[in-house]
Amino acid sequence: MAVRAAGKFSAYIEIIRPKQWYKNLLLFVGLVFSKSLGDLDLVLLAVFGFLAFCSISGSVYVLNDIVDRERDKAHPRKALRPIPSGRISVVQASIYGAILGAIGLAASFMIGDLFILCALAYVAIAVSYSFYLKNIVILDALAVAAGFVVRALAGALAIDVPVSPWLVICVFLLAVFLTFGKRRHELATLGEDAVNHRGILRHYSVHMVEDMMAVSTSTLIMAYSMYTFLATNQYMMLTIPFAIYGLLRYMFLVHVAGEGGEPELIFKDVPTVVNLALWLITAFLILYYAPDTGPVLGG
């Protein structure tokens, strides 16, 4: 009995995919880049918002697994998930997801009107994706990217700091890049079974997805570079090499190492982790300790 209960508990934790909660770290971007890390009240508010989105995104993952349960059975790894494997029934998952969503939305309401609007927008995007948008070529990737942008916006609005247009465009392009990397991995790994796993893949090809990755990569590098040129501190340009290396390293992992099915696997890649740490440290030191020099362009 104890073993069965432990297995059930493990399944309930697994279905909300805590390993993917790193995506909700985008809620801290506004806090960091507005130089607000020294304000404890704002830090605690951002943490509360992060937890709220973890609860909401957990409910979304449950919904997505319910909708995709039959297709997931065709995937060698996703077939082991709690619902397609039968460890959690559809009814149990539905109740669990509804509770998580209610908790997350209630917490969002407590944070503020603009934050709850972002939370509702995220839910609307996620539900639309699960039932409709995931079946429309290109829009499927853009919908996923929109979910990332809403997270970043929610973090900025929670602590009432200005929303930078560069934050929006860079997060959007990065999410598009990662999504197409995932599509490329699915096409290369599953072969003819790819369509059974994700119907939209019938409209994609490896070559097409690689072209889209190239476009999103080059556009993202340009956008991030423009952000550093127009930032209040021109030393932010020192972070450009880290951004470029991170993108190119991910492309290497997708094309050569066969990774990309789950973007969080990059956190197991030592060069990527080291590069990310160096980017974070460099950006932090520049933002919080280097004197403002004014933008390189338009100054």
Q: Is position 2 within any domain?
A: no
**Positive or negative CA dihedral for 189, 184, 148, 270?**
positive
pLDDT in 10s for each residue of the chain, 299 residues: 555 666 778 889 989 988 888 899 999 998 998 888 889 999 999 999 999 999 999 999 999 889 888 777 767 777 788 888 888 988 999 999 999 999 999 999 999 999 999 999 999 999 999 888 888 999 999 999 999 999 999 999 999 888 788 888 999 999 999 999 888 888 887 776 667 667 788 888 888 999 999 999 999 999 999 989 887 788 999 999 999 999 999 888 888 766 665 667 677 889 999 999 999 999 999 989 888 776 766 54
Point out the domain boundary residue: 122, 137, 163: 163
The string of pLDDT tens digits covering residues 162-212 is 878 888 899 999 999 999 988 888 888 777 666 766 778 888 888 899 999
Do both 64 and 144 map to the same domain? yes
Do both 21 and 149 map to the same domain? yes
Do both 44 and 145 map to the same domain? yes
Cα angle vertex 248, ends 245, 252, to 5°?
Answer: 130
Half-sphere exposure of 118 (CA within 13 A, CB side): 27
Do both 19 and 151 map to the same domain? yes
Do both 157 and 24 map to the same domain? yes
Do both 209 and 252 map to the same domain? yes
The string of pLDDT tens digits covering residues 152-174 is 999 999 998 887 888 889 999 99
pLDDT at 134: 87
Residues 150 and 95: their CA atoms lie apart, in Å, by 25
Do both 61 and 117 map to the same domain? yes
Closest Cα to residue 59, out of 96, 32, 28, 87? 96
Structural domain total, the chain? 2
Q: Is position 273 within any domain?
A: yes
**Cβ proximity of 122 and 147 under 8 Å:** yes
Point out the domain boundary residue: 136, 163, 190: 163
Residue written as tokens 């980017």?
A: 279
pTM (global) more than 0.85 = yes
Q: Tell me the two tokens of residue 213.
A: 């990755």
Residues 131 and 64: their CA atoms lie apart, in Å, by 9
Do both 28 and 113 map to the same domain? yes
Q: Is position 8 within any domain?
A: no
Do both 134 and 261 map to the same domain? no
Q: Is position 9 within any domain?
A: no
Do both 148 and 179 map to the same domain? no
Element (H, E) at 40: helix 40-67
**Cβ proximity of 245 and 251 under 8 Å:** no
pLDDT at 297: 60
Point out the domain boundary residue: 163, 190, 213: 163
pLDDT at 234: 86
Do both 108 and 178 map to the same domain? no
Range of the domain at 190: 164-299
Conformational region of residue 41, where left means phi above 0, alpha means psi within -120 to 50, and beta covers everything else: alpha
Do both 238 and 253 map to the same domain? yes
Residue 233, SS3 per DSSP:
strand
Q: Is position 245 within any domain?
A: yes
